[in-house]
Structure 1
Amino acid sequence: MKLTFLGVSSALSVGYLKFHSNMLLETDSGKHILIDCGGDVRHAMFELGYTPKQIDAVFISHLHADHVGGLEWLGFSKFFMENIQLPLYIAPELKERLWNNVLSGGMSTLEYKEATLETFFQLEALDDNMSFTLDNHVFKLIKVPHSYSNNHLLPSYGLLIYGKQHKVFITTDTRFALEELSSVYQEADIIFHDCETSEHLSNQHSHYNQLITLSKEIKQKIWLYDYNDCQLPDALADGFLGFVTRGQQFEF
């Protein structure tokens, strides 16, 4: 499998090529699954030569705009240009809110009928372990602590991917949560980790100053992404694999 970072920037980054931290995973058979679909994904895909026709499925981790803001464009593109319902992998607890709170305002009305989420997307079932299988590879959803609403933790998920040679953990957006994620850190061979780098701590993401406290064993597995517009620290000197750059590819 090959993982391409369409973007590596935080949600609030601004400027040319400062794309959201969405990824494209290509399976061994050539299928492409989009891992999150932020508001600038169409531009991020275009810059790297990808089109909607190449997308075979999409996984959504949570409902912030830098992860779902491009779904209307992608759903409409597949529906109107290809007459296809795009396979969608998402936690069951997010489906209703994705439609009611995010997509219905722009997508619910077609000329001759009232549309639903299923009009544009083929909702794929997860098994009892919150996993799905694509091209004989298992993708396991890992619940991560990201944001709260009125003291209630909102659902958000990373992905643990079982490749041929390596187990890869993509945190998506997560707070620093060593106790909750320690077992996944241990199981994974490679980790792509959410990493805030701004002076201001949002408390919504893992900050670099928190991540450097991880053990040497864990840090040497970690690539950092989803960082802010600022001078980046020396990740290699601090024991990490480095900061991911836009367009960088990994095979596993």
Structure 2
Amino acid sequence: MDISLVMLGTGSAFAKTYYNNNALVTCNGFNLMLDCGHTAPKALHQLNIDLESVDGIFISHLHADHIGGLEEIAFRSMYNAKKKLSLFLPESLIDTIWENSLKGTLENKNDNIMALSDYFNVVPVYERSPVQICDGFVLELVPTVHIPGKPSYGVFMNGYLYYSSDSILDIGTLERLRDRGCRHIMHECQLHPPGFVHATLESLLTLPEDLQRMTYLMHYDDDMESFIGRTGSMTFIRQHETYRFSRG
């Protein structure tokens, strides 16, 4: 089944022109956010997307540009929308996201609000176990290397679309996904070296031509425009524009 995608933001963690690298994907009527950084609520507002129309959120890892908007979403869901979103969390992140990131602001002992599940329908996602988001929409975790010792994940959707989130370049993973039927790659791109915890444009330019042709670049710096025409066969994806992907 086809997937439509709007990048709520395409910027690196410190970008100001471009928002946090988060996306809204839609498949068979289900609207799923991929990460929720602190600029995500503003992006939804600018795109005239009501929170009520968002069905779920997937979190790839715990940096603020990927989870910084969850506090606002949690409060608005509970007190304004009166609904619980589904929060799809890699199992390895479930305890840490509450204890180390969200508990300090979301816990309210006076009202007996003591857990992440008071705000969201928490759906654990496991490695090597694809999860069906809805009929015709399947998401599979792809472990990535970002910060040593801290779990992070990309997602492989419907067997043809890969979204890296934050990751250094792993050509082997991309080749394996291609061999499994991947036709579209959304990959983070740090424009300036060195890239200790991110994939640099320099490294991405070493990809084989067939992988470059299917690659869209995201998570870039604010001077992206000056790199147009310098990305080989890869293309910069633009924030707040709609893209449609299919297996064909």
* RCO higher in structure (CA 8 A, sep ≥6): 2
> Which range moved further: 69-78 or 105-114?
105-114
Are 1:147 and 2:140 an aligned pair?
A: no
Q: Tell me how far 1:88 sits from its aligned partner.
A: 0.8
Measured against aligned partners, the alpha-carbon deviations of 1:41-83 in whole angstroms (never above 9, x if no partner) come to: 1111111111211111100000000000001111111111122
Q: Tell me how far 1:127 sits from its aligned partner.
A: 5.9
Which residue number in structure 1 is paired with residue 86 of structure 2? 87
Which residue number in structure 2 is paired with residue 58 of structure 1? 57
Are 1:20 and 2:13 an aligned pair?
A: no
Q: Find runs of 4+ consecutive structure 1 residues off by over 6 angstroms.
A: none
Are 1:160 and 2:156 an aligned pair?
A: yes
Q: Secondary structure at the match of 2:176?
A: helix
Measured against aligned partners, the alpha-carbon deviations of 1:109-156 in whole angstroms (never above 9, x if no partner) come to: 1532242111011111436733211222210010010112xxxx2100
Q: How does 1:185-196 map to 2 (within 5 A)?
A: 185-187=178-180, 188-196=182-190
Aligned amino acid, residue 120 of structure 1: Y
> Which range moved further: 188-197 or 111-120?
111-120
2-side partners of 1:173 and 1:127: how far apart?
A: 18
RMSD: 1.8
2-side partners of 1:45 and 1:96: how far apart?
A: 27
Q: TM-score, normalised by structure 1?
A: 0.89
Q: Secondary structure at the match of 1:99?
A: helix
Cα pair 1:197 1:232 within 8 Å, conserved: no
Are 1:173 and 2:175 an aligned pair?
A: no
Aligned amino acid, residue 223 of structure 1: Y
Cα pair 2:94 2:124 within 8 Å, conserved: no
Q: Secondary structure at the match of 2:125?
A: coil
Q: How does 1:95-244 map to 2 (within 5 A)?
A: 95-126=94-125, 129-136=128-135, 137-148=137-148, 153-162=149-158, 167-187=160-180, 188-198=182-192, 200-230=193-223, 231-235=225-229, 238-240=232-234, 242-244=235-237
Q: Secondary structure at the match of 2:92?
A: helix
> Which range moved further: 213-222 or 224-233?
224-233
Aligned amino acid, residue 4 of structure 2: K
Cα pair 2:8 2:24 within 8 Å, conserved: yes
| Structure 2 unaligned residues grouped into runs of 5+ | none
Q: Secondary structure at the match of 2:16?
A: coil
1-side partners of 2:126 and 2:112: how far apart?
A: 32
Cα pair 1:185 1:191 within 8 Å, conserved: no
Cα pair 1:125 1:132 within 8 Å, conserved: no
Q: Secondary structure at the match of 2:157?
A: strand
Q: TM-score, normalised by structure 2?
A: 0.91
Cα pair 1:171 1:192 within 8 Å, conserved: yes
Q: Secondary structure at the match of 1:223?
A: strand
Which residue number in structure 2 is paired with residue 3 of structure 1? 5
Q: Tell me how far 1:89 sits from its aligned partner.
A: 0.6
Q: Tell me how far 1:248 sits from its aligned partner.
A: 2.0
Aligned amino acid, residue 13 of structure 1: A
Closer, same or farther: CA 207–222 of 1 in aligned 2, 3 Å:
same
Measured against aligned partners, the alpha-carbon deviations of 1:80-118 in whole angstroms (never above 9, x if no partner) come to: 112222111111110000001110010011532242111
Cα pair 2:168 2:195 within 8 Å, conserved: no
Cα pair 1:197 1:208 within 8 Å, conserved: yes
2:244 aligned to which of 217, 241, 251: 251
2-side partners of 1:38 and 1:196: how far apart?
A: 18
